[in-house]
Amino acid sequence: MAVIKVLKRIGLILLLVFVLINFALFNYGRQLLEPVDYNLAQEDKLVEIEPNTSTNRIGKILYEKGLIRSPFGFRIYLRVKDLSRRVQAGHYKLNSGMSTPDIIDKLVRGKTADHIITVFEGARVEQTADLLARKGFDRDEFLELARNKKLDFLPKRDDIKYNLEGFLFPNTYRIPYGSSERDVVRIMLNEFNRQVSVLEEQIQDSDYDLHEIVTIASLIEGERKVASEEPLIASVIYNRLEIGMRLQLDATVQYSLPEHKSRLLYRDLEVESPYNTYKISGLPPGPINNPSLSAMKAALNPAETDYLYYVATTGGYHEFTRTYQEHLDVQRGLNN
C-alpha cells in the first residue's frame, strides 16, 4: 500500500511538472508571437519578399527589421497552421506594432503595399509622368513608352507627340510596389479599355473612329470650365468641323507651347505646331490630354445647337453664340 501511495504521489508530481512545463512553453510561445512594440502608431517599414524565398530567410528578414520577436516562433507558427507554402512574394508595409500572426496573415493573403496615384481628368502624359516620378518611377522611361508604344487602333502618323496621349485613363490607381513603368502603362490602358467598353456601340455607330473620338473628347476636356458645358462645347466643335471652319481652340495652343501659360498672348496663337488649331484645319493629329468618361460621352452625344463661338465669362462659365458679331458683342460686354 505504501508503494502505491508513493507511486501515486510521484505520478501527481510528474503530471504537475508536465502541466507547468506545457504552461511555460505555451506562455513562452505566445510571447514569441506578440508585437515587438505595443505602440500601434509605429511607422510602417517596406519589406520585399522575393519569389521562392524560404520561410527561414523570411523570418530572418523580419527579425532583422525589428518586426517580429523570434524567427523560430515565426517558422513554428507557419508549420502549425500549415501556411509555409502559402506565403506570397511582393512588397509589404509592416510595423512593429503588429503581432506575428497578423504579419503572417498579410503575407499569406498577399496584401501587398501599393502606390496610390491619382491621375486627374485632363492630365497630359507629361503631367502623369511627373506624378509617377514623385513615387519613384523613372519619368524618362515612362515618357519613352508613352511616345513610342504602338496601339492597334492608332493611326500611323509621325506628327503625334505621344501615342498614348488620351488613353491613360484618369483615375485613382493602386500600383503595387515593384511595378515597372511598363506595368503602369498596362494598368492604365486596361482601365481605359474597361471604362470605354460601355461606349463601344456608340463609337461604332459614329462617323468618327475611336482615336478621333478620344481626340475630340480631349478638346472638350481642355476647353470646358464645368462638366455641364461639355455637350455644348462638343456641338461647337462639330458645327465648325461640318462647315470646314478652323477650331481655333486655346487648349490646343497650350499643348503646342513648351510650357503652360496662365494667359495666352496673340503671338502664342501663331506657334507652328500640328496641334495648333488656329493654324491647321480640322482635328489635331491626336489627343491633347487624357479626357474623362463624361467628355467621351459628350463627344458622342453633342448638344444640338447652331453655336459656332463661345467665350469664358467672369463667373467661370462660357457664353455661347451663333455669329461672330454676337461673339464680339459678348466680349465687349465682358470688357466694359
**pLDDT beyond 50 at 19:** no
259, amino acid identity: E
Residues whose CB is less than 8 angstroms from the CB of residue 195 and which lie 6 or more positions away in sequence, other chains included? 169, 171, 293
Q: Specify the range with the lowest mean pLDDT, choosing from 114-123, 133-142, 147-156, 298-307.
A: 147-156
Burial class (CB in 10 A: 0-12, 13-18, 19+), 316: exposed
Window from 13-27, 58-72, 115-129, 222-236 with minimum mean pLDDT:
13-27
- Say how far apart CA 322 and CA 306 lie, in whole Å: 6
Provide mean pLDDT across the span 254-281.
94
DSSP one-letter string for 1-37: -HHHHHHHHHHHHHHHHHHHHHHHHHHHHHHHHS-S-
Mean pLDDT, the chain, as a whole number?
Answer: 90
Q: Which amino acid is at 214?
A: V
- What's residue 20's pLDDT? 42
What are the start and end residues of each CATH 3.30.1490.480 domain in the chain? 45-112
What is the per-residue burial (b if ≥16 Cβ within 10 Å, else e) of 18-40?
eeeeeeeeeeeeeebbebbeeee
The Cα 177–Cα 232 span in angstroms is: 42
Question: For the chain, what percent of residues have pLDDT higher than 70?
Answer: 90
Cβ atoms of 284 and 162 within 8 Å: the answer is no
Q: How much is the pLDDT for 23?
A: 39
**For residue 308, how far is the Cα from the chain centroid?**
36
pLDDT at 26 over 50: no
3-class secondary structure for 59-71? HHHHHHCCCCCCH
Q: pTM, whole model, 2 decimals? A: 0.82
Residues 118-127: tens digit of each pLDDT: 999 999 999 9
DSSP annotation of 318 reads E
For 178-196, how does the pLDDT look when each residue is reduced to its tens digit (9 = 90+)? 899 999 999 999 999 999 9
- Backbone CA torsion sign across 112, 137, 161, 226: positive
Dihedral sign from CA coordinates of 294, 299, 301, 305: positive
Residue 16 has pLDDT above 80, yes or no: no
Contacts 24+ apart (CB under 8 A), 192-201: 192/167, 192/168, 195/169, 195/171, 195/293, 196/169, 196/293, 196/296, 199/293, 199/296, 199/297, 199/300
Quickly count: other Cβ atoms within 10 Å of residue 326's Cβ: 15
Mean pLDDT of 150-163: 83
Contacts of residue 31, Cβ cutoff 8 Å, sequence gap at least 6 = 69
The CATH T-level fold of domain 45-112 is Dna Ligase; domain 1 (3.30.1490)
In 71-224, which residue ranges form alpha helices assigned H by DSSP?
A: 71-80, 100-109, 125-133, 139-148, 181-196, 200-205, 210-223
User: Quick one: pLDDT at residue 206?
Assistant: 96
pLDDT of residue 158: 83
d(CA 113, CA 107) in angstroms, rounded, equals: 11
pLDDT digits (tens, 9 = 90+) for 209-252: 999 999 999 999 999 989 999 999 999 999 999 999 999 999 99
